[in-house]
Amino acid sequence: MERLAAAWNAGDAAAGADCFTEDAVYGAPPDPRVRRGRPVLFEYFGGASGRLHPMHMQWHHLVFDEREQIGAGEYTFQYEIRTHGVVMVKLVDGRISRWREYEVESPLDWEQLAAETRF
Where residue 35 sits, what CATH number does that domain have?
Answer: 3.10.450.50
Contacts of 95 (CB under 8 A, 6+ apart): 18, 19, 20, 21, 24
pTM: 0.93
Q: Nearest-CA neighbor of 87 among 96, 78, 44? A: 96
DSSP state of 53: S
Structurally, the chain folds into a number of domains equal to: 1
pLDDT above 90 for 50: no
Instruction: Give tens-digit pLDDT for 64-116.
Output: 999 999 999 999 999 999 999 999 999 999 999 999 999 999 999 999 999 99
Over residues 11-25, mean pLDDT? 97
Res 38: pLDDT: 98
Res 66: pLDDT: 97
CA 68 to each of CA 17, 34, 71, 93: distance values in angstroms, whole numbers, following the listed order: 22, 23, 9, 12
Range of the domain at 85: 2-117
- Separation between Cα atoms, residue 56 and residue 69, nearest integer Å: 26
